[in-house]
Amino acid sequence: MGACYNSAVINAPIDQVWSGIKDFHNLDWAAGVVEKCDKVGDKSGDQLGAQRILNDAFHETLLSIDDLDHSFSYSIDDGPGPVAADAVSNFIAYVRLFTITENNTTFIEWRAKYESADNAAVGELCNPIYQALLSAMQKHFA
Identify the domain containing residue 63 by its residue range: 2-140
Closest C-alpha among 142, 140, 114 to residue 127: 114
Residue 87, Cα to own-chain centre: how many angstroms? 20
Which amino acid would we find at residue 24? Answer: F
CATH code assigned at 12: 3.30.530.20
As for how many domains the chain has, the answer is: 1
pTM here is: 0.95
Alpha helices by DSSP H, listed for 1-142, are 14-21, 119-140
Q: Which helix (H) or strand (E) holds 70?
A: none
Please give the chain's pLDDT, 142 residues, in tens: 999 999 999 999 999 999 999 999 999 999 999 999 999 999 999 999 999 999 999 999 999 999 999 999 999 999 999 999 999 999 999 999 999 999 999 999 999 999 999 999 999 999 999 999 999 999 999 8
Give the N- to C-terminal CA distance of the chain in Å, as an integer: 36
Q: Are 59 and 53 in contact (CB under 8 A)?
A: yes
Q: Are 133 and 112 in contact (CB under 8 A)?
A: no
